[in-house]
Structures are given as structure tokens and as C-alpha cells.
Amino acid sequence: MEKFVRIEYVGQRFDTRSGPFVALRNINLDIARGEFISLIGHSGCGKSTLLNLIAGLARPTDGVLLCAEKEITGPGPDRAVVFQNHSLLPWLTCQQNVYLAVERVFGASETPGELKARTASALNLVGLRHAMHKLPKEISGGMKQRVGIARALAIEPKVLLLDEPFGALDSLTRAHLQDELLRIVSATKTTAIMVTHDVDEAVLLSDRIVMLTNGPAATIGEILSVELPRPRNRIALLSDPRYAACRAAVLGFLHQRHRRPAADGQGSVAPHAEKQSEQPETIVAS
């Protein structure tokens, strides 16, 4: 497997008024180019913290992160983030919100006409070319998220980072955007890393699901390889026993094997937790 994104012995500690708080410890993960990875675990296990480290929004206390063999030392156009909150500027239209990012990255090398064409292409990719001149207050929550995805894709990132991008949406809109994301990632061959609490979403979208133990001092407990063919159809998957097996494996971890190992002196060992060592266990549902 090509090691496109590499996370090596990463730990993150925060200084608080009550003393140091260890959020993450000993995180080791290699991600291939074009792979879709989901990070899942209980609230407070450090999923978003890990995503912020990959984005370069924070620096790790321990270890190193690399993208395309270059150390991640801060934010960059090779990594784009889509947050749960769409983060659109309310006084700008959809087109202007996307254009702002495009101009920042390509303004020195492309003409205004080329920048506008790139912006229109990104909005068209997410099915919003008809709404490009509308303000955020004039479109739905799902459409705002699509603008956020368009803005991220418009800068042609090597890695697309998604922090629960559909968490605040109703179930029908969420399902529609999941299908759109499947289509977009397949078309662009973008490497994607997504934080989610939704087991079905993780199984539907992912090539591998990275399951984190409970915090504090969270680490990778298990990694599930999702051996489901692409393209994926959510209706067809409902009757696929491999889908059910993947779903059961993730739920089993979250409900039974999510505690951190007792080797650090913090808490008891949950069933099968003794398997955790320097490298997480990789499982394949069948």
C-alpha cells in the first residue's frame, strides 16, 4: 500500500488549569492515495483533534504527520477541510464564497476568467450551479454544506478532510449528500478522511474504518477493512451480508471493546483490549 498520509507515533497533550490533559497517544496510521478513511469512536475520543492535526490546524505534542512525504507543519492547499458548520461568509454569494478560496490558491497563476471557470465547475460538480448567485440565507442547510464541499474541492486538494459534515442535517438530506460524496470522491480520486458518529455512514463511504478507544489518552483500537465493491448502492447494501458484518463489527467495538488498554495505568482492560499494542489490529468482516 502506498503511504500517502503517514501518522507516526502521534500524541497530543493540552495544558489545562488542573494539569496536563492527554487527548491522544501513540497514533500510527498509513493512508493510501485515493483511500476513504472514517474515524469513529465515542464523544471525547479525539477524532476531531486528530483531524485538526492532519489539517495542520494544530501541532502534535509527540510524533510526526506527513502528506506526500512532506511533514505537516501547518495548513496548506494540499489539504481542505469541510466542517459540520458550513462556515460560509453570509454577505457573499455561493459563487463568491467558493471564488474566495480559488483566488487565494490560484490567483497568482490564473486569470480572473480561469478562476471563475474553476469556481463554476466546482459548484456544478455538487449540483449548485443554478444557485451560485444566492446568499447563504437563501438556500437550505444541505445546499450550504454542498457549497462548503465545492469550496474545498475547488482548490484541488490532495486530501479532503470532513469533520461530521452531515451531522446537523435531516436524515433524507444526509442520505442524499452521502450519495453525492460517494460520486464526487469517485470522480475526483481524492483521498478523504472523515470524522463521524454514524456507523452506517462509515460503512457506506469507507474503504477502512479506524476505531478509536475512549479518551482521555485515546488511541487506535481496531481498523476495519470494508470489503464492499464500488460503486456502492445503499439500497442493495441493505441485503448484503458483508454490509451487515461490517456494521456489526463496528457496533461491537463501540459497545464492548472501546476502552483504552490498562497498560498506561488508567482503567481496566475491556474484552479483547489486550490485543492493542504498537500497531492496531486490522480486521476484515466477511
pLDDT digits (tens, 9 = 90+) for 217-253: 999 999 999 999 999 999 999 899 999 999 999 999 9
Predicted pLDDT of residue 1 = 60
* Set of cell numbers at residue 106: 490560484
- In which region does residue 93 sit, left (phi positive, over 0), alpha (psi from -120 to 50) or beta (all else)? beta
Average pLDDT over residues 64-86: 92
pTM for the whole structure: 0.86
Residue-wise pLDDT for 169-201, tens only, equals 888 888 988 998 998 888 888 999 999 999 999
Alpha helices in 62-170 (DSSP H): 94-106, 112-125, 141-154
β-sheet with 220-225: strand ranges across:
79-82, 159-163, 191-195, 36-40, 208-212, 220-225, 281-284
Q: How confident is the model at residue 260 (pLDDT cuts 50, 70, 90)?
A: low
pLDDT per position as a tens digit, 118-135: 999 999 988 898 999 999
- Pairing status of strand 70-71 against strand 19-31: unpaired
7-21, 156-170, 198-212: the lowest-pLDDT one: 156-170
Q: Residue 272's pLDDT is what?
A: 34
- pLDDT at position 168 is 77
- Give the CATH fold of the 5-69+200-284 domain: Rossmann fold (3.40.50)
pLDDT of amino acid 3: 84
Give mean pLDDT, residues 8-36.
95
**Closest to 197 measured CA to CA, from 87, 84, 282:** 84
Beta carbons of 40 and 199 less than 8 angstroms apart: yes
* Residues of the chain above pLDDT 70, percent: 89
Indicate the pLDDT class of residue 261, thresholds 50, 70 and 90: low
- Section 200-221 average pLDDT: 95
Mean pLDDT of the chain: 88
